[in-house]
């Protein structure tokens, strides 16, 4: 099948009251338009044309991919005009047309529609649904014989049409390319001044050609016109993803308060507490525990990892059996080995931490390479930045860093060395040595008594 796809994504989205083009508003971490593109890509269309207009450059930049062709609708004259603008880019054969603001559509439903279209020999097939609670959709008018004759937009429908015709237009069409000529015959709507793609239904029907509407689950059709819609659509998507992982053996303590993005994977017997956000291309292993208030983006967690309360993990990797948090921050490019402990108020940036290493309290490690079985005392800081450049700190395996130490990079603490508490380390420490850098302590006898006498 020589399939072409057109995604209409030029509209203003006035009802969103936004400076961002509507189709770029995100649902579950991805622009709505990207969800639509991702739903059609598995159909392997010969062409995928995206009609852009409002914020054209921004939209194009955000979703760009080599298999997409962008055409610009110069004046936003309605959905009929939008398809007409794309028409010259299309191959012969069926053309699947979708709205860029309907991110819940699934590949399975599109496949079914295409199959029905092919089997029926229709010139035009489209998706319909019935749901009283959903407002603002076109109403499908059928003649007394049940044949589709027109679509009337909700705002133009008379009260009697509204009562009589409860089948609504999903805005997803398969049109034979031979029928695209009908687009020239659509006239401007008198009230809105727009060319309605929906009028093609009336034209095809009037010409006596075969056409039909096919029911699909209402939730897949839900389009986003307002912020309220955006919330509802995101919520449906969120529930879909959580339900999928529950089926695969993941425990959610409060599924209503957990957000998991579509590309995430989670191993079985992992337990996820509420108010957690697992975002982007994150992979979580088996038997992990994610405690409340955690956000994990684009990161990989091995088996049995524990992330304690209120921790942020970005673009990092954590090895099997390690624990991170509470109140920790792994910034991008942090790699934590197996059985490591990253504790309270520890920030790690672009650093490698070896197996079994512990940084349990109040520490900053940036641009550091830390070996295995190292103990990093409370309050240790790698001073990696001189205001202009960043420098590396190397802490080899078996090292013990005493509390409240500053390591002025570039510097290396060699194997099994000790750094005494309160040190400011500016020079490399040889293997097995103890580095102390602090003024000798003096105790002034009876100092307090003398002070009191002086103060009198």
Binding track, positions 22-41, relative to ligand UD1; x by CB under 6 A: -x------------------
Interatomic CA distance for residues 215 and 51, integer angstroms: 26
Q: 3-state SS string over 383-434?
A: ECECCCCECCEEECCCCEECCCCEEECCEEECCCCEECCCCEECCCECCCCE
Instruction: Return all residues near 407 (Cβ < 8 A) that are at least 6 apart.
Output: 380, 381, 382, 383, 393, 395, 401, 413, 419, 425
Check residue 78 for interaction with ligand UD1 (CB under 6 A).
yes
Decide if 361 is catalytic: yes
Nearest CB to ligand UD1, comparing residues 77 and 413: 77
Does 101 participate in binding ligand UD1 (rule CB under 6 A)? yes
198 binds, among ligand UD1, Ca ion, none (CB under 5 to 8 A by kind): ligand UD1
Residue 55 is classified by DSSP as B
Q: How far is the CB of 168 from Ca ion (least distance, A)?
A: 12
The alpha helices in 46-164, defined as continuous H runs, are: 56-63, 79-87, 107-120, 159-164
User: Which range touches Ca ion (CB under 5 A), out of 84-92, 215-223, 269-277, 309-317?
Assistant: 215-223
Strands 124-129 and 168-176: what pairing? antiparallel
The closest of 10, 19, 4 to 68, measured between CA atoms, is 4
Stretch that binds ligand UD1, among 191-199, 210-218, 261-269, 433-441 (CB under 6 A): 191-199
**Interior CA angle at 181 toward 175 and 183, to 5°?**
80
Residue whose CB is less far from ligand UD1, 137 or 291: 137
* Residue 94 binds ligand UD1, judged by CB under 6 A: no
> Is 197 an interacting residue with respect to ligand UD1 (CB under 6 A)?
yes
Q: In 152-222, which ranges are continuous DSSP H helix? A: 159-164, 199-206, 218-221
Q: How many of the other CB atoms lie within 10 Å of CB of 440?
A: 5
Binding partner at 8 among Ca ion, ligand UD1, none, C-beta below 5 to 8 Å by kind: ligand UD1
CA–CA dist 169, 163 (Å, integer): 15
Distance CA(426)–CA(415), nearest Å, equals 17
Does residue 229 touch Ca ion according to CB under 5 A?
no
**How does 293-315 read in b/e, with b if 16+ C-beta sit within 10 Å?**
bbbbbbbbbbbbbbbbbbbbbbb
Which one of residues 99, 122, 128, 357 is an interface residue with ligand UD1 (CB under 6 A)?
Answer: 99
- The residue from 105, 151, 294, 435 that contacts ligand UD1 (CB under 6 A) is 151
95-114 binders of Ca ion (CB under 5 A): 101
Among positions 251-310, residues that touch ligand UD1 (CB under 6 A) are none
Of the residues 117, 156, 361, 414, which is catalytic? 361
Check residue 367 for interaction with ligand UD1 (CB under 6 A): no
Write down the residue that tokens 């304690």 correspond to.
Answer: 308
Among 40, 59, 77, 174, binds ligand UD1 (CB under 6 A): 77
Residue range at the interface with ligand UD1 (CB under 6 A); choices 79-87, 237-245, 373-381, 439-447: 79-87
Give which of 81, 322, 96 is closest to 187, Cα–Cα. Answer: 81
Cα–Cα dist 436/131, whole Å? 75
Within residues 213-252, the interface with ligand UD1 by CB under 6 A covers 223, 225
Whether omega before 326 lies within 30 degrees of 0, making that bond cis, reads yes
Least separation in angstroms between CB 107 and ligand UD1: 18
Which residue in 3, 5, 6, 10 binds ligand UD1 (CB under 6 A)?
A: 10
By CB under 6 A, residue 102 contacts ligand UD1: yes
Q: Does 82 bind ligand UD1 (CB under 6 A)?
A: yes
Among 29, 45, 103, 171, binds ligand UD1 (CB under 6 A): 171
Could you say which DSSP state residue 35 is in?
H
DSSP state of 49: E
- List beta partners, residue 51: 8, 71
Which residue is nearest to Ca ion, using beta carbons?
223
For Ca ion, the binding residue among 94, 223, 304, 354 (CB under 5 A) is: 223
Closer by beta carbon to ligand UD1, 196 or else 245: 196
Tell me which of ligand UD1, Ca ion, none is bound by residue 151, counting a contact when its beta carbon lies within the kind-specific cut-off of 5 to 8 angstroms.
Answer: ligand UD1
- Three-state DSSP class for 369? strand
Using the minimum distance from each CB to ligand UD1, give the nearer residue, 59 or 376: 59
Nearer to Ca ion, 225 or 360 (CB): 225
* Alpha-carbon span 302 to 50, nearest angstrom: 39
Tell me, by CB under 6 A, how many residues bind ligand UD1. Answer: 30
Q: How far is the CB of 186 from ligand UD1 (least distance, A)?
A: 10
263-272 long-range contacts, CB within 8 A, separation 24+: 267/303
Does residue 128 belong to the site contacting ligand UD1 (CB under 6 A)?
no
Binding site for Ca ion (CB under 5 A): 101, 223, 225
Annotated catalytic residues are: 361
Binding site for ligand UD1 (CB under 6 A): 8-11, 23, 51, 53, 73, 76-79, 81-82, 99-102, 137-138, 151, 153, 168-169, 171, 196-198, 223, 225
């Amino acid at each position: 099948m020589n399939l072409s796809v057109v995604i209409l994504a030029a509209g203003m989205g006035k009802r969103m009251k936004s400076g961002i083009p509507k189709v770029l508003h995100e649902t579950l971490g991805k622009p709505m338009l990207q969800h639509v593109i991702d739903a059609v890509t598995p159909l392997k269309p010969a062409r995928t044309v995206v009609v852009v207009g409002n914020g054209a450059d921004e939209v194009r930049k955000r979703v760009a991919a080599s298999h997409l062709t962008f055409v610009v609708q110069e004046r936003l004259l309605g959905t009929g005009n939008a398809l007409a603008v794309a028409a010259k880019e299309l191959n012969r054969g069926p053309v699947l047309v979708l709205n860029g603001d309907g991110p819940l559509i699934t590949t399975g439903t599109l496949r079914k529609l295409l199959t029905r279209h092919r089997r029926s020999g229709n010139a035009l097939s489209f998706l319909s649904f019935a749901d009283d609670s959903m407002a603002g959709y076109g109403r499908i008018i059928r003649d007394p014989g049940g044949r589709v004759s027109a679509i009337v937009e909700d705002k133009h429908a008379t009260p009697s049409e509204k009562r009589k015709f409860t089948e609504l237009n999903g805005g997803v069409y398969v049109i034979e390319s031979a029928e695209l000529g009908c687009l020239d015959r659509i006239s401007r709507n008198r009230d809105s001044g727009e060319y309605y793609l929906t009028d093609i239904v009336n034209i095809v029907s009037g010409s006596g050609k075969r056409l039909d509407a096919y029911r699909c689950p209402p939730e897949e059709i839900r389009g986003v016109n307002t912020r309220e819609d955006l919330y509802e659509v995101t919520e449906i998507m969120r529930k879909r993803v959580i339900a999928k992982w529950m089926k695969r053996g993941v425990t959610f303590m409060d599924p209503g308060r957990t957000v998991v993005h579509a590309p995430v994977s989670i191993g079985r017997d992992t337990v996820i507490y509420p108010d957690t956000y697992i975002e982007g291309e994150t992979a979580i292993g088996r038997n992990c525990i994610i405690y409340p208030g955690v956000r994990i983006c684009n990161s990989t967690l091995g088996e049995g990892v524990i992330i304690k309360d209120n921790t942020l993990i970005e673009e990092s990797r954590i090895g099997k059996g390690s624990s991170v948090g509470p109140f920790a921050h792994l910034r991008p490019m942090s790699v934590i080995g197996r059985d490591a402990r990253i504790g309270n108020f520890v920030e790690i940036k672009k650093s490698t931490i070896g197996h079994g290493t512990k940084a349990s309290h109040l520490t900053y490690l940036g641009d550091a390479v830390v070996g295995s079985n190292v103990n990093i005392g409370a309050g240790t800081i790698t001073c990696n930045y001189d205001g202009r450049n960043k420098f590396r700190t190397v802490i080899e395996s078996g090292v013990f860093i005493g509390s409240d130490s500053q390591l002025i990079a570039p510097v290396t603490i060699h194997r099994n060395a000790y750094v005494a508490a309160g040190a400011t380390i500016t020079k490399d420490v040889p293997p097995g040595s103890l580095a102390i850098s602090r003024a000798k302590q003096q105790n002034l006898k009876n100092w307090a008594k003398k002070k009191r006498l002086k103060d009198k």
